[in-house]
Amino acid sequence: MASDIPNGAYVSFMATDNDCSKQAAVEAAAGAIKQLGDHKPNVALFFDCVATRLRMGKEFDFELEKVNETLQGANYAGCNTYGQVARVNGQFSGFQNCTAVVCVIPD
């Protein structure tokens, strides 16, 4: 676990597959572009958990290709992290693990 678990807490174990991880990265990129409104994406930052990359192996390259397509030709850079910290409207947690986070900077 990435954090302490208090006594009496409920824990749920979840599973995923590579297709779901790719789709989550695409949705993160599409959501970031949507927030630009009428502005065209210029460059982007892409962060994904190192655990996702290790789990996906060579399939991680396909995730990057899908993100690239979704960013509509905008150049991007990023890295694999040990969890991500992000604040997005409508989300109540600031720390995510095994997720994709995308920041798009408009022209």
Task: Show me where the domains of the chain are located.
Answer: 18-106
Single pTM value for the model: 0.74
| Residue with token string 């990057």 | 64
Q: What is the pLDDT of residue 26?
A: 92
Which of these, 101, 82, 81, lies nearest to 91 by C-alpha position?
101
Q: Calculate helix-pair angle for 60-70, 18-34, nearest 10 degrees.
A: 20
**Secondary structure of the chain: what % helix, strand, coil (to 5)?**
35, 25, 40
What does each of the 107 residues of the chain score in pLDDT, given as a tens digit? 666 788 998 888 878 888 888 898 999 999 999 999 999 999 999 988 888 888 889 998 998 999 999 998 899 999 888 765 656 666 555 555 667 889 999 98
The bridge status of strand 75-81 relative to strand 41-49 is parallel
Neighbouring residues of 83: CB distance < 8 A, sequence distance ≥ 6: 2, 49, 95, 96, 97
